[in-house]
Homo-oligomer: A and B are copies of this chain.
Amino acid sequence: MQMLQEAICEKGTVLPNGVLKVNSFLNHQIDTGLMIEIGKEFASRFSEYKIDKVITIESSGIAPSFFAAHSLDVPLVFARKKKSLTLKDNVYTSEVFSFTKQESSEITVAKEFIKENERVLIIDDFLANGQAAQGLINVVKQAGAIVAGIGIVIEKSFQPGRKLLEDKGYHVESLARIDSLSDGKITFLQEDAGITI
């Protein structure tokens, strides 16, 4: 997705530890216009998948999935990373390890918000090792619902997440696929028009 790649090139920064920081439009400050286009793009790519619900993880997943759910005319559910007092029982949970934060957290979705046989589109901001997506898949499967597809804003294609998910039979659509962040340089996979900065 051209508009997203341009935002990554212009506003993203690569930290010494290989983390791609996109705080200025996705993870902390939000460019709502770009998020709306991202949402429409997800909706377009999954328009034939008979989606009943979009599920993401708080907090960074909410903005890019908001308009996807709206365009597909289905509810959006965000998994919580920690149990709250108003969400004690009747929840599906799964453990997720974050390599960025170097910690495990438990994600939680209230049972009432995923129904058996619902076709669920999972959306997340990043795909690297696939831990967050796998956590959401676990939650969807516990409910007896179906993972109809996985939409990712930024895929680190040099990490194993996509292969892990595809090997399990899931259909993954990533709006930007990054081939390398070596030496602080962002290189996209050739299929994505091959912008290099």
Contacts and interface: CB of A to CB of B under 8 A. Distances in A.
A166 B67 CA distance: 34
A28 interface: yes
A84 interface: yes
Nearest to A28: B110
Interface stretch (A55-63, A139-147, A167-175, A182-190): A55-63
Given A86-B19, A86-B23, A67 B32 contact: yes
B86 A15 contact: yes
Contact of A101 (B78, B85, B109, B110): B85
Interface stretch (A2-10, A68-76, A116-124, A152-160): A68-76
Interface string A123-151: 00000000000000000000000000000
Given A19-B85, A58-B59, A59-B80, 5 more contacts: A30-B66, A32-B66, A32-B70, A84-B101, A85-B100
Interface of A: 15, 19, 21, 23-24, 27-33, 35-36, 58-59, 62-63, 66-67, 69-70, 75-78, 80, 84-87, 100-102, 109-110, 112-113
A120 to B, nearest CB: 13
Given A15-B86, A101-B85, A102-B85, A69 B23 contact: no
A23 B80 CA distance: 11
A84 B86 CA distance: 25
